[in-house]
Structure 1
């Protein structure tokens, strides 16, 4: 009895191959620091040669940055405000998407944050860009259209708290809806302090 022939390798369009390689990287990132990720392992899992991987990403660093950027982009797709509504409702949309994303993808999120903390300038730049976008979204949703540097600092600090509570809390400690309520109220208090001239 002869063995069945091996399945033919599927040819992917360049954008599909890039997406496949980045997806593999995001999954592997949950098991090791990004700079310990093996390019050979990524290529083998994708069923391509190491050389072909470098056709899509010229260097390992380019690949690592693309993986971190993709992780940040996925978060930003979820953490969005509705087009209309009161400031509290618009902020709630961002917070709800953020908390939901982080809690359901905790390992991936922590891995991306850890990668940014690794000190690579390009990776850190991607991470900081995501933080700037989130800060701008929150300020706009909260109705702060001409933020001062102190406004930005306050929202950055609030985002750090939101991130830590979303990562560290469990359903036994606080439910997702209650956590969203807590974070929205805390931001409202910060905004009220600035409106009252008490930064």
Structure 2
């Protein structure tokens, strides 16, 4: 990510550090690798299963590891789950920030498609991030805010050539992102549309948001593809 994006998203890398940093993961390469392996296992286990539905005994049995090993690295079930979400979201944020060589419209399609793929294949984690959960408010809200700002920055770069924009433009884009969250929640609960149709619909609704920003602040003109034809 660029230095400009780093300035926009300082919380995206530190939202659960105090809770999830493994106490010994930095000691050896083996420890780091083992920690990463446990997170990968957890990502599969929690992909479509809520936090409350799996006990630590269930996790240890399905992961085929000693329960104490998970506590050793992550201190608690809560710390383990938040580390899994953090790892998943880092991938999503990195994906949103990549593809700079693509034309803005193609990059937008790619970003939204990646977002929908994440929600589709990590439904329980996505619901936790967007809806929050008992005992996770501060950490999950920080994760959610980091994702929102990453998407806003990506759209702003494509539409206006810079990640940091004036309040009106930022709020217009943020409103659209919040709408995307709600629509995506409904989509994974009631998947009546294909992912391609859902992506194209969200991209088109962005055009309305960009035009609204332009009407309120002419210094932020909507890109030509977002303008009304005729």
TM-score, length of structure 1 as denominator length: 0.73
Partner of 1:5 in structure 2?
A: none
CA distance 1:64–1:105, change in 2 (3 Å): closer
Q: For residues 155 and 35 of structure 1, what CA distance do their matches in structure 2 show?
A: 34
1:69-108 Cα deviation digits (max 9, x unpaired)? 1231233344455223443233222112222332344344
SS in 2 for 1:169: helix
Partner of 2:203 in structure 1?
A: 184
Q: CA deviation at 1:112?
A: 4.4
CA distance 1:181–1:165, change in 2 (3 Å): same
SS in 1 for 2:165: coil
CA distance 1:84–1:143, change in 2 (3 Å): farther
Q: For residues 192 and 169 of structure 2, what CA distance do their matches in structure 1 show?
A: 30
CA distance 1:56–1:172, change in 2 (3 Å): closer
1:118 to 134, 139, 150: 134
Structure 1 vs Structure 2 CA RMSD: 3.1
Q: For residues 77 and 36 of structure 2, what CA distance do their matches in structure 1 show?
A: 16
Contact map agreement 2:97 2:150 (CA 8 A) in 1: no
Q: CA deviation at 1:183?
A: 1.4
* Higher alpha-carbon Rg: 1
Partner of 2:175 in structure 1?
A: 157
Q: For residues 102 and 45 of structure 1, what CA distance do their matches in structure 2 show?
A: 23
Can you give the 5+ residue segments of structure 2 that lack an aligned partner in the other structure? 1-28, 219-230
Partner of 2:86 in structure 1?
A: 69
SS in 2 for 1:89: helix
The count of aligned residue pairs is 186
1:26 to 43, 52, 61: 43
Contact map agreement 1:81 1:92 (CA 8 A) in 2: no
Partner of 2:24 in structure 1?
A: none
Contact map agreement 1:79 1:96 (CA 8 A) in 2: no
